[in-house]
Amino acid sequence: MNKTETYSLSVQITRWVRDDNPGWVQCEFLDADGRLHSFVEKEPVVSVEYLDAGSEYPRPGIIACTAVARWQDPGGRNLVRINTDSPWGIESAEGLSEFVVLSARLAAYGDGP
């Protein structure tokens, strides 16, 4: 895994947030420790579908990220430290942009959702 390569982190788009142009949605994912992280982001940044306030939620989505490191924990899980600040400057509602996730949550950028 090359840290300069871009990956897609699988997320759930949970709700419509506001009707700006483009609209904004809330996304969530669980990190490797089971902690829920929430993001509010522009709809076309996290989905290839056209979504609006009337869309059915949750919907699959992605957040682009780069891989910083990868390893296997003592339990045999393949883990990846990702950074969502690169390439699109995305951070969580808590202001975080670095997370540890299961490698299965990642796909080559452009392969999802």
pTM above 0.85, yes or no: yes
Note the pLDDT tens digit of each residue in 25-44. 999 999 999 999 999 999 99
Q: Report strand pairing: 6-18 vs 24-30.
A: antiparallel
Note the pLDDT tens digit of each residue in 54-112. 999 999 999 999 999 999 999 999 999 999 999 999 999 999 999 999 999 999 886 55
